[in-house]
Amino acid sequence: MNLLKLAKNFWIDYSIQRTFLGGRVESIDGREMMYDSVSTGYNHTEFIFFKYYSIQPNDVIVEVGCGKGRVINYLLYKGIKNKIIGYEINVRLANLTKKRLARFKNVDIHSGNILENFPSEANLFYLFNPFKEGMMEAFKEKIWAIRNCNPTMLYFNPTCLDVFNDARFTYNILNLPIPFFGFDYKLAIINIKEL
Ligand SMILES: C[S@@+](CC[C@H](N)C(=O)[O-])C[C@H]1O[C@@H](n2cnc3c(N)ncnc32)[C@H](O)[C@@H]1O
């Protein structure tokens, strides 16, 4: 990582959570059903939420597995005032993130499995590889159950996109450049199909 990027990461981390948030945290299940906690880059968050999607005033944003909260940091850093709800199954991580973001009244962090406490009023879901196929199937059914909210999913690096090859859903895939590694990541924007 170049020094400029590191400095930018530190600046945004520190502005919002008053500490540096780099580094990976191991999955709580040894990667059986879930992935390690690795943060979406701030540059990718800019692409995802401000270039490829445009946040609307009434959007209620849910981050599925918010980890250390860098995505939420970026939204706050950009002045987003929408309701933002982060769910994190790693209780220790969730509690730290919750404490550091407590001063932002539009943010709630829930500790636990989102599948066991699913939000009923949200419409914009962000996922960066929280879990694998089995949990993604269950997640899809939870989304289907709140279809009256017209949910949109922004699924970054969508390793389980096959789950949404389902007549009830539709998606577009966009490229996100990662110049440092010399390849592109994908972003899938998934919606419920009008039936
Ligand atoms: C790859 S990390 C992404 C972190 C953050 N979303 C980001 O993009 O910066 C995925 C996170 O999802 C969490 N997670 C996995 N399954 C979950 C579940 N069922 N409910 C809530 N969090 C979950 C993991 O513990 C991990 O912190």
Q: Ligand 1 centroid vs 153 CA: distance in angstroms? A: 15
- What is the residue type of 77? Y
The answer as to whether 96 is a domain residue is yes
Q: Identify the burial level of 117 via C-beta atoms within 10 angstroms of its C-beta, where 0-12 means exposed, 13-18 middle and 19 or more buried.
A: exposed
- Please determine, for residue 35, whether its predicted confidence score (pLDDT) is greater than 70: yes
Q: Ligand 1 centroid vs 160 CA: distance in angstroms? A: 14
The answer as to whether 140 is a domain residue is yes
The answer as to whether 169 is a domain residue is yes
Assigned token pair, 193: 């199909």
Instruction: Determine whether the shortest distance from the Cβ of 38 to ligand 1 is under 6 A.
Output: yes
List the alpha helices (DSSP H) in 65-170.
Answer: 70-77, 91-100, 133-145
Give the pLDDT confidence of 7-26 residue by residue, as tens digits: 999 999 999 999 999 999 89
The answer as to whether 132 is a domain residue is yes
The answer as to whether 177 is a domain residue is yes
Q: What is the mean pLDDT of residues 44-56?
A: 96
The sheet with strand 169-178 has its strands ordered as 107-111, 84-88, 61-64, 124-128, 152-156, 183-192, 169-178
Total residue length of the chain: 195
Q: What is the mean pLDDT of the chain?
A: 94
Instruction: Determine whether the shortest distance from the Cβ of 152 to ligand 1 is under 6 A.
Output: no
| DSSP letter assigned to residue 50 | I
Q: Ligand 1 centroid vs 123 CA: distance in angstroms? A: 18
Give the pLDDT confidence of 122-139 residue by residue, as tens digits: 999 999 999 999 999 999
Ligand 1 atom 10: the closest Cα is on which residue? 130
Pocket test for ligand 1, best of 29, 35, 132 (most atoms within 8 A of CB): 35
| DSSP letter assigned to residue 190 | E
The answer as to whether 41 is a domain residue is yes
For position 36, what pLDDT does the model report?
86
For position 134, what pLDDT does the model report?
96
Domain housing 136: 34-192
Q: What is the mean pLDDT of residues 135-155?
A: 98
- Please determine, for residue 152, whether its predicted confidence score (pLDDT) is greater than 80: yes
Q: What kind and span of H or E run contains 62?
A: strand 61-64
For position 180, what pLDDT does the model report?
65
The domain that contains 126 carries what CATH number?
A: 3.40.50.150
How many domains are there within the chain? 1
Instruction: Determine whether the shortest distance from the Cβ of 9 to ligand 1 is under 6 A.
Output: no
- Percentage of the chain surpassing pLDDT 90? 84
